[in-house]
Amino acid sequence: MSDKKSLAKARGKARRFAMQAIYQWQMTNDDVKGIERQYVEDNADSEADFDYFKELFFGVEENIKKIDKVLVQYTGRAIASVDPVERAILRLACYEFMKRLDVPYRVVLNEAVMLTKKFCAEQSHTFVNAVLDKVAHEVRTVEIKSASDS
């Protein structure tokens, strides 16, 4: 497997673990360090990029107010009323849009939709896609404009 495919797969697993850890944190309000330790220990034999997992998980926790401020503009309702799994996915993707400019917005969007299709109700991906598309247009304006110009 090429290095690029290997990195994509490792980051995909990191995103899934981060989404699950964010969900757990939202539901339990447990200590993030304890949740992080649990995920790393329980999945040590996986090929996940644990540095990326940690950045995503801790990044969402540290930037939750900024993330939710952006998301609430496009969800059409209070963040707390969004399905908890969808909320975890939205927060994760929003963090990547805001802080990981090296990851193309289309990759972030696609990964979020794939997680939603796997873990949420049947049509949830349309809601998540619509919200994140609007977030991307706000947060990644230059990248989206240059992609549409090409």
Per-residue pLDDT tens digits for 62-101: 999 999 999 999 999 999 999 999 999 999 999 999 999 9
| Single pTM value for the model | 0.95
Architecture of domain 3-149 in this structure: Orthogonal Bundle (1.10)
pLDDT at residue 2 is higher than 80 = no
| Percent of the chain's residues with pLDDT above 70 | 99
Q: What is the CA radius of gyration of the chain?
A: 15
| Average confidence (pLDDT) over 94-116 | 97
| Average confidence (pLDDT) over 120-136 | 96
What are the structure tokens assigned to 39, written together? Answer: 């995920």
What is the C-alpha to C-alpha distance for residues 20 and 119, in angstroms, rounded to an integer? 10
Reported as a pLDDT band with limits 50, 70 and 90, residue 1 is low
Q: List all residues 6 or more positions away from 97 whose beta carbon is below 8 Å from its beta carbon.
A: 105, 108, 132, 135, 136, 139, 140
Helix axes 124-139, 105-119, angle to 10 degrees: 160
pLDDT at residue 17 is higher than 80 = yes
Q: What integer best gives the mean pLDDT of the chain?
A: 95
Residue type, 49: D
pLDDT at residue 143 is higher than 70 = yes
